[in-house]
Chains A and B, each alone.
Chain A
Amino acid sequence: MAPFAQLVTLLARIAAALFVASGAMLTYEVIARYFFTAPTIWAAELSQLCLIWGSLLAMAWCLRERRHIRITAVTGLLPLRGRLVAEAGAMLAVAAFSALVAWKGFEIFWVSFERGRTTGSMLDLPIWIAEFAIPFGFAVLVVQALIEALRVMRGDLPAEGAQRE
């Protein structure tokens, strides 16, 4: 497997682990509050960071595995060629949107980073720790979306992954 594909898989596994970790932290928080009467100052904030980073890290994997929810019923009526064109267009649209968000997200991160802004909460973490997830996650997604567009242009139309909610 190409290094980039491995990276994307690794990021998805990290994301899954982060969600599990947030569950562990919040369970500990409730136990600490009721049984030791000693609520933590970190559980809520760190588990929120897990959600932010987890969601953004796994976007590219979800795109590759076709796990993002979308409507294929209408293009499904088209012949293969039409479906390929629509799919390539969709992937390029994702790439364009992600590039813009990554760029603007980087500006937000950079301002906070340079000025050393912090959250002002109990932990008083630097704000950029959360903000950096946006440019990072969306940059990986841009690359993945372009790879997918190329793959589709070569005539390879992957099946939809399971969609659940």
Chain B
Amino acid sequence: MTIVLILGALFLLLLARVPVAFALGGMGLGMLLAGGFSPLMAPQAILSTLDGFILLAVPLFLLMSNVLLKGGVGRDLFAAVQAWVGHWPGGLAVATILSCGIFAAISGSSVATAATIGTVAIPEMLARGYEKRFVYGLLAAGGTLGILIPPSIPMIVYGFVTEESVIALFLAGIGPGLALLGLFIVFSMAHAAARGMGRAQAATWSERRHASIRALPSLALAVIVIGVIYTGAATPTEAAAIGFAAALVITGVILRTLNWESFREAAMESMATTVAILLIVAGAKVFGKAIALYRLPQEISAFIGEVIHTPLAFVAVVAIVLLIMGLVFEALSMVLIMTPVLLPAAVGLGLDPIWFGIFMVIMVECALITPPVGLNLYVIQAVARASMGEVARGVIPFLLLMFVTVILLYAWPDLALYIPFKL
């Protein structure tokens, strides 16, 4: 019963526009006081969160992608991919999705991915006669690849709260990320074929060479960051720092597209996002500590154990709950509130915690594009000056493809677990 009251009070605070970080922290602190535990645990939990080395990767990955964004790397990347696949059926759509996938490999954020590629791809696709709804849906959904293909900020946070390896999570995201990318591409080609879209002329070899050379540094950056993490040459946090430094060299020295003013904007933007994210993690830590002292996760786990007997039923129920929460909740808060509550039960049913993390990330991707609250919907709405309704309707087929990916992931867990554990 306590759990219903506690979650009810928490949701009430959250819905009454208390910032998520303070709703979680305040709820936790209130529970500590009510339960006769020391309130000193609140500042301690906040400090120990910010003292986590892995979380230092958050501002650094954000700096890296914001610098690239301000340096106009999205345009070069899109032009290069377009030169290679633009003449395929639905070529422009395929180029858009591939660009999202590549940018996802240099960015840990889905919003940055949607904004970067959306800015260049949307006007071009509309000019070439693609249906509006399809274009908006494609970009909103394509942007969510940013958090499934490593690096990924939600994975860093999940790894931090569950004490699982962030490296394993990153590697586990590659398989499902590529699967989703593939599904999006096939759907785009089928959509273009069904609509009888004309095919663009193939780019000449010299055009291809020229466009590729400009995009090459950013591509190399993606490979280096993942490579460094995979080989263990540096920790994810150090890899993020190198990525940030390399992004500065690429945009400031090689391409000369970043000036002092845009660098300052990138730094302020990254700072604001970092603080917003890390404070939520800190608030969740206070809350997590409090519910652990009340032994709530164990109770929930026991309750779930009584009612649900198969992993399939558990995953299905969790997926539905997350989908409903995702209508209103912002993505990261969902991971932070639900992970400590659900993970013990998931592990009890024999689910792998890394697998469960990837599953959570895909569900979070759905939350990013389900109205009324979905950050990616807002981004595309702003970039394209479109109505919310148009964007939201366009997203539906892509949402279904995400469900397909979840089903694939359940039926064949190695889609995620092969690369980190069996390769």
Residue among A22, A52, A104, A164 facing the most chain B CB atoms (10 A cut-off): A164
How would you classify the secondary structure of chain B's contact residues: helix, strand, loop or mixed?
helix
Q: Which residues of A contact B40 (CB under 8 A)?
A: 104, 107-108
B242 partner, pick from A27, A104, A163, beta carbons under 8 A: A27
Q: Which residues of A contact B26 (CB under 8 A)?
A: 93, 96-97
Does A51 make an interface contact (CB < 8 A)? yes
Asked whether, in the complex, the Cβ of B42 is within 8 Å of the Cβ of A101, the reply is yes
B272 partner, pick from A56, A89, A133, A161, beta carbons under 8 A: A161
Q: How far, in whole Å, are A161 and B19 apart by their CA atoms in the complex?
A: 12
Does B3 make an interface contact (CB < 8 A)? no
Chain B: interface size category = 35 or more
Q: How far, in whole Å, are A101 and B41 apart by their CA atoms in the complex?
A: 10
Which residues of chain A from 132 to 146 have a CB within 8 Å of any chain B CB?
133-134
Asked whether, in the complex, the Cβ of B111 is within 8 Å of the Cβ of A69, the reply is no
Does A125 make an interface contact (CB < 8 A)? no
Q: How far, in whole Å, are A71 and B333 apart by their CA atoms in the complex?
A: 10
The number of chain A residues with a CB under 8 A from chain B is 62
Asked whether, in the complex, the Cβ of B43 is within 8 Å of the Cβ of A16, the reply is no
Does B153 make an interface contact (CB < 8 A)? yes
Query: A19-B63, A47-B56, A59-B275 in contact; A26/B51 too (CB < 8 A)?
Result: no
Which residues of chain A from 65 to 101 have a CB within 8 Å of any chain B CB?
65, 67-75, 86-87, 89-90, 93-94, 96-98, 100-101
Does A12 make an interface contact (CB < 8 A)? yes
Q: How far, in whole Å, are A128 and B120 apart by their CA atoms in the complex?
A: 48
Q: Which residues of A contact B149 (CB under 8 A)?
A: none
Q: What is the CB-to-nearest-CB distance from B289 to chain A, in angstroms, rounded to a whole number? A: 13
Asked whether, in the complex, the Cβ of B275 is within 8 Å of the Cβ of A15, the reply is yes
Asked whether, in the complex, the Cβ of B276 is within 8 Å of the Cβ of A69, the reply is yes
Which residues of chain B from 22 to 78 have a CB within 8 Å of any chain A CB?
22-23, 25-26, 29, 39-40, 42-44, 46-47, 50-51, 53, 55-56, 59-60, 63
Q: How far, in whole Å, are A17 and B51 apart by their CA atoms in the complex?
A: 18
Name 9 A/B residue pairs within 8 A (Cβ), A-sorted: A13-B268, A16-B271, A20-B267, A71-B373, A73-B328, A73-B372, A97-B26, A104-B43, A165-B153
